[in-house]
Structure 1
Amino acid sequence: MRASARRRAALLFLIWGWLLSAPVFAGDYAAIVKDAELALQDEEYVLSAEIQYRLSPKATDALKNGIPLFWAVNIEIKRQRDFWWDQTIAEKHLRFKIQYQALLNVYRVRNEDSGEGGNFSSLGAAMGALSSIRYVPVLGKSALADDQRYAVGVRVVFERELLPLPLRPLAYLNPQWYLSSGWYIWNLKN
């Protein structure tokens, strides 16, 4: 009896772990890649994208209490193959941070890679600045062959791992913290 009880407990534990790790959609609270394109500019492909960020009440409260929120915009270019998995040709990750500074009563948006940023008097203006990505170099034209097919994907990942330690367990269990987008994919014509 003990062995079967242990097996049942182990099975329940595995099912419970799987359910907790399964994707949960936040419904109205998530990032959405509205539009993205890769354009050739001076022998280099550059990305421009429009992203809509929809913060949940929990994320908005945390932000207003001084907790910075981080998102990574992941860009992938893959060579499409018929009989094998697609081959990743290029990957780029852009990390953005938004933080409310109560002393100055401003929202600060910062590109963590380039160090560029700005201060905004309202959350709406800050999110608007965060939403637009313009002319980010991704890949040189010479890296792509003319006779191959390529797909480009862009997604936004909310980085819960960068939340303060006491908040992380709640962020993994509460759907209001599932603020990532799905992949926005299109075929690249070179």
Structure 2
Amino acid sequence: MRLSLWSLALLLVYALDGWGADYGFRVLKAELVPATHDYLLNAEVDYQFSEAVIEALEHGVPLTLVIRFKVHRHRDYWLDETVFSESRRLRIRFHPLAKSFQILPEASGIPQNFASFAAMLDALGSIRGWRVLPRELIEPGQEYWASLAVHLDIEALPLPLRPVAYVSPSWYLSSPWFRWRIAG
């Protein structure tokens, strides 16, 4: 019985950790730029990681961020229609021996290395020229809305860390959807 009470107390401490703290993700701005065959996404994202997440990263725990992008076509008499939806995953990690941070996009597999956490955050927060939407999906004269959001994927954490992450608000890092109109 003592072990279960101790476990409950520990989980309660982790659950209360971070209430009212100043962390989270926020999409500051986003736009689609027409290119020859596609629309390119440019966006600025503010990443404010909690102390618990930074500490885990600095101790070698890789983190996975999911960037979600959607396009809806407005319809007057029905629900809006999802025209396009895509998620991109970025893995970030710290290499203690090299004392460097790394961003590894899962799609390309080409890593970017950074000497500091701040430099990595600057690169992570600046999305430039991502091919996200074929131009033929946008019909002239229609009203379209794009949405962008980011979240930390708790399910991608190492298994022993997940129970702590599930009960601690400091691990629930996500942005609200940022919406903007696309000229059709």
With the shorter chain as reference, the TM-score category is 0.7 to 0.9
Structure 1: any 5+ residue segments left out of the alignment? 1-19
How far apart in 2 are the matches of 1:25 and 1:75?
A: 29
- What's the % identity of the aligned pairs? 37
Distance 1:79 1:27, change over 3 A: farther
Residue in structure 1 matching 2:52, options 58, 67, 75: 58
SS in structure 2 of the partner of residue 167 of structure 1 = helix
C-alpha offsets along residues 102-157 of structure 1, whole Å, 9 cap, x if unaligned? Answer: 11111111111112221111111111111111111112222111121100000002
Residue 105 of structure 1 pairs with residue 99 of structure 2 = yes
C-alpha offsets along residues 56-89 of structure 1, whole Å, 9 cap, x if unaligned? Answer: 0000110000001111110000111122111111
Kindly provide the amino acid, as one letter, of the partner of residue 64 in structure 2: F
SS in structure 2 of the partner of residue 126 of structure 1 = helix
Q: Which residue of 2 aligns with 1:175?
A: 169
Q: How many Å apart are 1:27 and its aligned residue?
A: 4.8
Preserved CA contact (<8 Å) 1:94 1:113: yes
How far apart in 1 are the matches of 2:135 and 2:56?
A: 42
Q: Which residue of 2 aligns with 1:145?
A: 139
Normalised to the residue count of structure 2, the TM-score between the two structures is 0.86
Superposed, which structure 2 residues align to 1:29-178 within 5 Å? 29-178=23-172
- Deviating above 4 A after TM superposition, structure 1's stretches of 4 or more consecutive aligned residues are 24-27
Preserved CA contact (<8 Å) 1:29 1:178: no
Residue 188 of structure 1 pairs with residue 164 of structure 2 = no
Preserved CA contact (<8 Å) 1:44 1:141: yes
| Alignment coverage as a number of residue pairs | 168
Distance 1:74 1:26, change over 3 A: farther
Please report the RMSD computed on the Cα atoms of aligned residues, expressed in angstroms.
1.7
Preserved CA contact (<8 Å) 1:25 1:178: no
Distance 1:68 1:169, change over 3 A: same
Structure 2: any 5+ residue segments left out of the alignment? 1-14
Kindly provide the amino acid, as one letter, of the partner of residue 96 in structure 1: L
Which is higher, the Rg of structure 1 or of structure 2? 1
Preserved CA contact (<8 Å) 1:26 1:177: no
SS in structure 2 of the partner of residue 61 of structure 1 = helix
Kindly provide the amino acid, as one letter, of the partner of residue 112 in structure 2: G
